[in-house]
Chains A and B, each alone.
Chain A
Amino acid sequence: MYPLFSQRKWGDPVRVKASFSSHSKRVDGHVVPEYRRFSLDPQLTNFETLYSLISRAFDIKSDFLMQYRFEDPSGQEIFLQLLSDWDLEAAFERAADPCLCLRIDPIPLEHVEEWDLVNTPSSDCKIIHPKEGRSDCSIQTKIMTKVGKTINLMQQALNLNGSSGEFALGATTSPLTDTEFTDFRDGVGTLIKVDECKQRIFQGGLEPSLRRVVWKHLLNVYPDGLNGSERMNYMCRKSEEYQRLKSEWMLYYRNKKMSEELQHVTSMVRKDVLRTDRQHPFYSGGDDNANVEKLFNILTTYAIMHPTTGYCQGMSDMASPILFVMDNEAHSYIAFTALMERLKENFSITGTTMTLKFDHLCCAIAYHDPVFFAYLQRHNAIDLLFCYRWLLLEMKREFAFDEALRMLEVTWSSLPKSPREDELALFERMPDLAPTASAPIPLPTRIKESPYTKVCSLRRQSSSPASSFSFNSSDGPISLHSALKNSRDSQSACSPSWDRGNIELDDVFIPANDKVNSTQFEPLVVPHDLKSIDYTEPRRDLAQPNGRTQFVLNEANNGQQCPLMATGDDSVSSALSSLMNAKDPEEKRGDVSNEGLSCSLEDSALEDFEVVGSCEEAIEAAAATTMITPSNTTHPNYVRRGVRPSLPSPDVLGCGNPFLIFLCLTVLLQHRDSIINRSLDSNEMAMHFDRLVRKHNLERVLSQARTLYYRYLAHFNSQNS
């Protein structure tokens, strides 16, 4: 087909010549664009890598468009757009001989509205004007019924009420500076404009020199309302308390007369601090690095003084950036203890919180990208276990150390306010540290489950038929929340008895078909007895515009909202979601026209709301990857009805850190093309992301995650008002 297939051998490096139009120089009266030449390993380079390489090579601060030169069979030279891994693969194959010629054009600024976030250029990315955004909200408000939930304080913190249009969505501003920070405080140093301050940090992060001070605020170390000198006294006092706590166990440790518990903890912590962020200069060098020793002291003290939580792998990753920033052992301990108030549940042996977080991420994928969701289902990857580290460490390890600091402060600034009434408690209870009578410790010392294996088994039970775990096991129905149903009989949980009148998910998602069993749909199944899960029903007005049956459960109302509620007004969330899809060039390149969408929004009946674009793409993707015949997938309702699950409310989502879910989602969305195009299975996906540890592009991730998050908040905000 392409006679010019390169002579290059498979796997050889590819030479690249890139020209950047706006850096043109005049040479002898001619305009000559600026060039860069370099080589790439086509097997290691994906679209994202190339994009960031180019942006660095030319020092491009804005968005840009990449095109590659290609000679068509008639010898005509044309430039084709490079928008995805798929394009890049084609470029390597077709046009890399003798070298791959790239043309880089900046996206003209006049096309980029303040509102518009363009991570990767795309010809069809849509711009939503603030005005339209507001009118959408009013329509939603009309249709939406109140859920009667307390909406995350974050929204007020972000001042989203009615002013969402003023946000420059997602895009990062400059970091908060010393002088700016002064404006948020009164004359005696009391932080008075907390919300504005957090909002500012959420957008831009902090100047590194300011971190030592501001992180303590973000981590909620101080009781509410302290002024500058009170804070300093507080830290002094707490530091002394830390020294006392540390000396409690240090004495036994130095004398090598340890209780079984202390010996166990110190040996585990020792092993782990020796392999935590050691590539960073702060922790590098010999094993006697003083900072490694401090990290050891902090973690051991924490574990000993919090026997219920103890020490778990992963804690060292969370303590390490804090110690780097504070550069003071006692202060770090205090800040780490404050952080662990929120994070200790991640390490809980029951795995409940982690399992919920997995569920929420699942929901977010289903909501934002049903195509990819269906792909994950088909490839037995919907357990998302490859995201375990992301959720456990709140993405800390996915970015280079210095970028992780920015990511952490941005995330922390988004957390709901929880003003501290009393002082932070530095210990749970004083342990008995005297060595046990029997001197030699019996082995094996512990028979205990690890949190990971617990979560793993919960997720696995939920996302694959009980008995089989294999490469392409016969695809059983997959339950989104089933992680928490392990007590139930898997047969009944998987039975397709879910009332279609209530939740029509089986009309929405591409079923988990495999090649053998391609004749029937395997619907996404939601456990029947949601009561047994911690979700409660959304109380809904029975008079829904489209007259669809209500999703009403009874009892067990603990203020949470079912992430999977899919009643009539989900058409609206679909609308929002489609808008997002249409706007996100990486996620969608379908022909969802702006007009079409706003029409749908104004259609008060909302009967046949269109998310056709994405569903068609779903079918295409399904057909391409699993060879399902079209007759199997063009279920009439399938395409027509755009019902999607809705996301849990901000007070529920992410179990206290809703933004985390959007960070994870963003990373997934930024790689979904590459995953789908290469049809990676779950293990290969895990390897793909393992290779990207510390290599994700923070700015790209943060700006997209912020955009998604703002829209999500605006959605709930309008629902609430």
Chain B
Amino acid sequence: MSYAYLFKYIIIGDTGVGKSCLLLQFTDKRFQPVHDLTIGVEFGARMITIDGKQIKLQIWDTAGQEAFRSITRSYYRGAAGALLVYDITRRDTFNHLTTWLEDARQHSNSNMVIMLIGNKSDLESRREVKKEEGEAFAREHGLVFMETSAKTAANVEEAFINTAREIYEKIQEGVFDINNEANGIKLGPQHLPSNANTPSGGASASQGGSCC
């Protein structure tokens, strides 16, 4: 399947906040309560449509352990969007946001869209971080905010798609240099006149086929 744009996302946040579950819910529409702990980086991809344009999201899911300030520069540099996730039932994961954000801001390109996600909204009874606190943090730092539940899928689609929408708007406004792939945006085959039609042979036909 061909696409107009490919956006690269990263998901960051403390260990155990539900990063992999968010990704799985978004790419596979399922929740796996006992997801394997992530070793290194895992990837996911899904095609979405914004204003009739096919957009492929390629998402990097990182291991959260001890990774404060340490995710490499290059890892951030190649991303157009970031989901910064905390767990509403664990205050420490909220308290670490500043560290994560500093890290992201320092290493990413300045246009990277960051979405703040308070995950596990289904666990209302165990809530330790108020929704208002999340909103306030987002306002203060100029982020988009949402509470999600990877378990019930509440707001998960929205989180990924709204981020994409914002990136797309930045492209249309000319803020992103789409020719510099280090920004985490790649023009898809739909944009390339040479192979707009007739996918010939196995190689090019399967270009966009690896999404889930």
CA distance A6 to B206 in the complex (A): 18
Residues of A within 8 Å of B207, CB to CB, are 679
Interface assignment of A684: CB less than 8 Å from any CB of chain B: yes
Knowing A86-B202, A470-B182, A471-B186 touch, does A448 contact B43 (C-beta < 8 A)?
Answer: no
- Report B54-84 residues with CB < 8 Å from chain A CB: 58, 60, 63, 65-75, 77-78
Q: Which residues of B contact A393 (CB under 8 A)?
A: 39
Q: Which residues of B contact A472 (CB under 8 A)?
A: 181
* Closest beta carbon of chain B to A21's beta carbon, Å: 29
> Which A residue sits closest to B58, measured CB to CB?
A683
Count the A residues whose beta carbon is within 8 Å of the partner chain — how many? 58
Bound together, the chains give a CA A679 to CA B73 distance in angstroms of 27
Please give the distance in Å from A24's CB to the nearest CB on chain B. Answer: 35
Given contacts A456-B75, A471-B181, contact A448 B70 (CB under 8 A): yes
Pair A271/B41 contact, Cβ less than 8 Å: no
Query: Are A443 and B92 within 8 A (Cβ)?
Result: yes
Interface assignment of A452: CB less than 8 Å from any CB of chain B:
yes
Task: Evaluate contact between A388 and B39: CB separation under 8 angstroms.
Answer: yes
Instruction: Compute how far the CA of A678 lies from the CA of B207 in the bound complex, rounded to whole angstroms.
Output: 7
Q: Smallest distance from the beta carbon of B16 to chain A beta carbons, Å?
A: 4
**Bound-state Cα–Cα, A448 to B50, Å:** 39
B65 touches A450 (CB 8 A): yes
The stretch that binds B, out of A309-317, A533-541, A662-670, is: A309-317
Give CA–CA (A89, B202) in the complex, Å. Answer: 8
B45 an interface residue at 8 Å Cβ cutoff?
yes
In B80-102, which residues have CB < 8 Å from any A CB?
A: 92, 95-96, 99
**Segment 246-280 of A: residues with Cβ below 8 Å from B:** 268, 271-272, 274-276, 278-279
- How many Å from the CB of A675 to the closest CB on chain B? 11
Query: When chains A and B are docked, how far (Å) is the Cα of A683 from the Cα of B208?
Result: 12
The answer to whether the Cβ of A9 comes within 8 Å of any Cβ in the partner chain is: no
Determine the chain B residues whose CB is within 8 A of the CB of A275 once the complex forms.
34-37
**Nearest chain A CB to B85 CB, angstrom units:** 14
Which of the candidate stretches A174-182, A222-230, A591-599, A685-693 sits at the interface with the other chain?
A685-693
Please state if A473 and B96 are interface contacts (CB–CB under 8 Å): no
A392 within 8 A of B: yes
Q: How far is the CB of B130 from chain A (nearest CB, A)?
A: 18
Q: Are B36 and A397 in contact (CB under 8 A)?
A: yes
Residues of A within 8 A of B121 (CB): none
Does any Cβ of B come within 8 Å of A155's Cβ? no
- Distance in angstroms from B204 CB to nearest chain A CB is 8
A687, B70: Cβ atoms closer than 8 Å:
no
Q: How far is the CA of A302 from the CA of B203 in the complex (A)?
A: 49
Nearest Cβ on chain A to B189's Cβ, whole angstroms: 12
Contacts of A429-454 to chain B: CB distance below 8 A: 443-450, 452-454
B residues less than 8 Å from A460 (CB atoms): 72, 74
Contacts of A284 in B (CB 8 A): 34
- Is A469 on the interface with B (CB-CB < 8 A)? yes
- Is the CB–CB distance between A678 and B206 below 8 Å? yes
Whether A389 is near chain B, meaning CB under 8 Å from some CB there, is yes
Q: Looking across the interface, which residue of chain B has its beta carbon closest to that of A457? A: B72
B interface, size bucket: 35 or more
* Inter-chain contact B70/A444, CB cutoff 8 Å: no
Let me know if A624 is at the binding interface, CB within 8 A.
Answer: yes
Q: In the complex, A453→B66 CA distance in Å?
A: 10
Report which of B34, B65, B73, B74 forms a contact with A278, defined as CB distance below 8 A. B34
Instruction: Name the contact of A43 in the complex, choosing from B38, B63, B74, B209 (C-beta under 8 A).
Output: B209
> Do the beta carbons of B35 and A678 come within 8 Å of each other?
no
Q: Could you say which residues of chain B place their CB within 8 Å of the CB of A314?
A: 39
A686 engages B43 (CB within 8 Å): yes
CA distance A174 to B37 in the complex (A): 34
| Complex CA–CA separation, A444 to B15 (angstroms) | 13
Partner of B37, one of A89, A276, A392, A690: A276
A residues 82-97 near B (Cβ < 8 Å) are 86, 89-90
| A385 at the B interface (CB under 8 A) | yes
Least CB separation from B78: chain A residue: A469
Residues of B with C-beta under 8 A to A328: none
Set of chain B residues within 8 Å of A624, measured between Cβ atoms: 203
Q: Are A444 and B95 in contact (CB-based, < 8 A)? A: yes
Asked whether any CB of chain B lies closer than 8 Å to the CB of A677, the reply is: yes
> Would A279 and B34 be within 8 Å (CB), given that A271-B16, A473-B182 are in contact?
yes
Contact A470 B181, CB 8 Å, known A444-B96, A447-B99, A690-B42: yes
- Nearest residue (CB) in B for A456 is B72
Q: Is A150 on the interface with B (CB-CB < 8 A)? A: no
* B125 on the A face (CB < 8 A): no
Partner of A313, one of B39, B70, B73, B202: B39
Residues of A with C-beta under 8 A to B37: 271-272, 275-276, 313, 316
* Inter-chain contacts of B198 with A (CB < 8 A): none
Instruction: Choose among A276, A388, A679, A687 the residue that contacts B40 (Cβ–Cβ < 8 A).
Output: A388
Instruction: Give the docked Cα–Cα distance between A86 and B205 (Å).
Output: 12
Q: Is A214 an interface residue (CB 8 A)?
A: no
Beta-carbon contact of A456 and B40 below 8 Å: yes
| A446 closest partner in B (C-beta) | B66
- Find out whether the CB atom of B96 lies under 8 angstroms from the CB atom of A684: no
- 7 A-B pairs (CB sep. < 8 Å): A284-B34, A388-B41, A444-B99, A456-B40, A471-B186, A473-B182, A683-B60
Chain A: residues with CB nearer than 8 A to chain B? 43, 86, 89-90, 268, 271-272, 274-276, 278-279, 284, 312-314, 316-317, 385, 388-389, 392-393, 397, 443-450, 452-454, 456-457, 460, 464, 468-473, 624-625, 677-680, 683-684, 686-688, 690, 693
- 7 residue pairs, one from A and one from B, having the closest CB atoms: A278-B34, A470-B181, A469-B74, A388-B40, A457-B72, A271-B16, A449-B70
Q: A470-B78, A678-B203, A683-B43 are in contact. List 12 more A-B contacts (CB 8 A).
A: A271-B37, A275-B36, A314-B39, A389-B40, A397-B36, A443-B92, A444-B68, A445-B92, A470-B182, A473-B182, A679-B204, A690-B42
